[in-house]
């Protein structure tokens, strides 16, 4: 079985590693490829079907898609691949006709019952004369016409039972079923307080992975609604987890989120100013933080001074490593340099329509 898995751009290597580990932990066999056909934010997983005996001794198929949806921390979507083909002509009318014919010849009826409603979500990447809406409409009518042989198909664009994904990437057409649903996996059920600049949980987990923690203490000095700390606590981290946030509203939000996640007792949350870090803590082993960028909240011109003061304080207490995310490359690199920090890793990560700089320092 083939699955197309989505994740934020820039953390495909970590998502691939996670999927390989999950496959292994479930005793499954398969191979995983990052950025198939050079498409960023994607992983292709080919996993062998597997069976188990239930409590009544009946042979059942292991539900790989459910397993990935339930256990991944880095993926956004798990899409089951039905079929794919190379388009022979990219001219609008011809390409759309070819897509229609291809879908009509696919065994759609095996994947959606006539009693179930469906919708098609389109996606397109590359140079084309048609839009992703054209692709979705074409595939939608092909599926409708095909299912009409069995009764009256039900289309429900808002709350469908089955979501088809129809994608054209350069000259490749792909048809799949989105097993995740319309709400991406990064939207965690524990998020009851919605911070205006919250971090995607998938990226928080990528930062946690990159920190290579060893059960030493972990601090997020500008923790907002607590995403990094909550995700860390949910992984069963044994070390001390500390959060500092300047504003009461966000700190209360972090507490509400931690409570909803069932990890409030695992995190020390302090209302405080990160530019006075040594006032609250004598030492900390690791720092992981999504710093303010001055875009959604706060003023951009205050960022260089904030970073400079914060890293000056951090240099007094940091024992091992720090992982930071910001759009403010110049300001952060200056603050690293002037406070004696060395960059040991840098990458760009896609977050909220921006490419954000991720640094590991010591």
Positions touching ligand SAM (CB under 6 A) are 195, 197-199, 222, 224-225, 227-228, 244-247, 250, 273-275, 290, 292, 306
* Nearer Cβ to ligand SAM (102/324): 324
* Nearer Cβ to ligand SAM (172/308): 308
Residue 113 CA to residue 49 CA, distance in Å, equals 22
Query: Whole-number minimum distance, CB 209 to ligand SAM, in Å?
Result: 16
Q: Which residues of 17-29 are buried (b: 16+ CB within 10 A; e: fewer)?
A: ebbeebbeebebe
Residue nearest to ligand SAM according to CB distances in the complex:
224
Query: Whole-number minimum distance, CB 307 to ligand SAM, in Å?
Result: 10
* Nearer Cβ to ligand SAM (213/306): 306
Query: Whole-number minimum distance, CB 194 to ligand SAM, in Å?
Result: 9
CB 197 within 8 A of CB 272: no
Query: Whole-number minimum distance, CB 131 to ligand SAM, in Å?
Result: 33
* Nearer Cβ to ligand SAM (39/258): 258
Query: Whole-number minimum distance, CB 78 to ligand SAM, in Å?
Result: 24
Query: Whole-number minimum distance, CB 348 to ligand SAM, in Å?
Result: 17
With helix as H, strand as E and coil as C, how does 162-205 read? EEEEEEEECCEEEEEEECCCCCCCCCCCCCCCCCCCCCCHHHHH
Residue 59 CA to residue 57 CA, distance in Å, equals 7
CB-CB neighbours of 74 under 10 Å: 26
* Nearer Cβ to ligand SAM (118/310): 310
* Nearer Cβ to ligand SAM (42/250): 250
Beta bridge partners of 322: 287, 361
Residue 333 CA to residue 286 CA, distance in Å, equals 19
Q: Is the dihedral of CA 5, 328, 321, 275 positive or negative?
A: negative
As given in the structure block, the two tokens for residue 222 are: 């500008």
């Amino acid at each position: 079985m083939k699955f197309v898995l989505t994740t934020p751009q820039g953390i495909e290597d970590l998502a691939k590693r996670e999927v390989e580990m999950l496959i292994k932990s479930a005793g499954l066999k398969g191979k995983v490829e990052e950025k198939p056909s050079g498409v960023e934010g994607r992983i292709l997983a080919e996993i062998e079907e597997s069976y188990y005996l239930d409590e009544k001794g009946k042979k059942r198929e292991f539900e790989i898609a459910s397993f990935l949806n339930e256990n991944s921390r880095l993926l956004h979507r798990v899409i089951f691949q039905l079929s794919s083909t190379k388009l022979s002509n990219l001219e609008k009318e011809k390409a759309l006709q070819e897509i229609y014919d291809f879908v009509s010849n696919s065994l759609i009826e095996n994947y959606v019952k006539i009693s179930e409603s469906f919708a098609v979500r389109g996606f397109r990447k590359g140079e084309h004369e048609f839009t992703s809406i054209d692709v979705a409409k074409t595939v939608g009518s092909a599926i409708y016409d095909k299912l009409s042989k069995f009764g009256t198909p039900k289309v429900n664009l808002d709350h469908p039972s089955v979501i088809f994904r129809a994608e054209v990437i350069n000259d490749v057409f792909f048809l799949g079923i989105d097993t995740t649903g319309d709400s991406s996996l990064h939207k965690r059920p524990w998020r009851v307080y919605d911070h205006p600049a919250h971090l995607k949980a998938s990226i928080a987990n990528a930062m946690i992975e990159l920190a290579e923690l060893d059960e030493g203490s972990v601090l997020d000095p500008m923790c907002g609604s607590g995403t990094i700390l909550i995700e860390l606590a949910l992984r069963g981290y044994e070390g001390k987890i500390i959060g500092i946030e300047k504003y009461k509203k966000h700190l209360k939000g972090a507490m509400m989120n931690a409570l909803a996640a069932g990890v409030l007792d695992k995190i020390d949350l302090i209302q405080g100013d990160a530019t006075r870090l040594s006032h609250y803590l004598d030492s900390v082993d690791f720092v992981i933080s999504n710093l303010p960028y001055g875009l959604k909240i706060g003023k951009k011109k205050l960022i260089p001074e904030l970073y400079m003061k914060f890293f000056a304080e951090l240099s007094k207490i940091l024992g091992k490593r720090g992982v930071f995310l910001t759009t403010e490359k110049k300001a952060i690199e200056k603050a690293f340099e002037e406070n004696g920090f060395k960059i040991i890793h840098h990458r760009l990560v896609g977050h909220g329509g921006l490419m954000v700089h991720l640094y590991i320092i010591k």
